[in-house]
Structure 1
Amino acid sequence: MSISTNTKLFTSPNCVKSHIVRFAAEVKGLEYIELDMVEHAQLALSQDVTESPSLSDRNVTTGELDIIIEYIDEQHPQPPLLPANTASRAVYRKQVRSFHKQLFPLLSAAKAGDMDAQANLRDYLQQMDSMVQGYAYFASSKISIMDVTIGPWLWAAKEAGLCLKPFRALSSYADRLFVLPAFQASLGKQVEDVAA
């Protein structure tokens, strides 16, 4: 079952969260239309979209990143991005929200020269390095919401000049993710002319 091409993802260039949404959709092998939020502002407003990334599909419109990913995951269950068991799903959700709140802002602050942010970022990367050791994916043998979230952040960090070489397991993990066909496809596919 594939998502209707009526499904629109409103995104912004160089936006990690937009990349996360595309990666989730590509992992699922879904069909979607990606629209630049600025270029398609009128269409966005007509669908009650006010922020990016946002998903507009059937009667659902949301700009909440975790809701977008879970909506895609629940509507199209294969491959699952969240574990089947309730307790494990709660742990995954908590970890992903922690990444969004703590890890994501650290890169900008560290690049701006904030010494505390640089130290915290190194600590975070060290923890992540230990969590991917011996696994194909993030603490797992199967791709999950963790990979969908971390992969685009690692890509943005690499593009910003962050060197992962001191974190050998994390660096290898990033290299494995970056060559996945779903990741390559998630680097961007925008459709210029779309009718409302």
Structure 2
Amino acid sequence: MPKILAFSGSIRRDSWNRKLIRIAVDATRAAGGNVTLIDLADYPLPLYNGDFEDHDGLPDNAQRLKALFKEHDALLIASPEYNSSIPPLLKNSLDWISREWQGESGLVPYQNKAAAILAATPGPFGGMRMLPHLRQILNTLGVLVLPGQFSLARADTAFDPENGALKSPAQLHTLVVELVKTTAALTRRMEQA
């Protein structure tokens, strides 16, 4: 079973993306993925600063996140859109994880990983302006981001008020099935190499 690390780029309690990632996690598990859902609120980090890093080294929470990334085969990320780009929380986390540590390249936690990216916004674009930025960052770090992505516009009306389920989940389900299949294939290929 592919090991998939899932998280939201928002820590706001009632975030649409926190709702979306929980639904995506359930769908990924149903598709055969072994998913670990984390909350970035549990890994607070200072704003990246090279002087801080030179003086204090890599923060403990960055080390914990690095270890989690290395333990998993794929990433499942749901993120809000801030001013047509990714939120600072997500960027800062990805940046800290990418720092070299104890002689190990900062790219190691990202190598040989697949990722599916999702976005939810209450507006009409559903994060479509942010998703290319997230894709570019992950690609630069060495992650294979699936060509498909999931964008949820009008998130304020997209969830069933009775049970919190996504009213139209088909496209999301297709994406997470692809993530599980792609990750399983990459894992097999790495084991055979």
Report if TM-score (shorter chain) is over 0.5: no
More strand by share: 2
Structure 1 length-normalised TM? 0.31
Structure 2 length-normalised TM? 0.32
More helix by share: 1
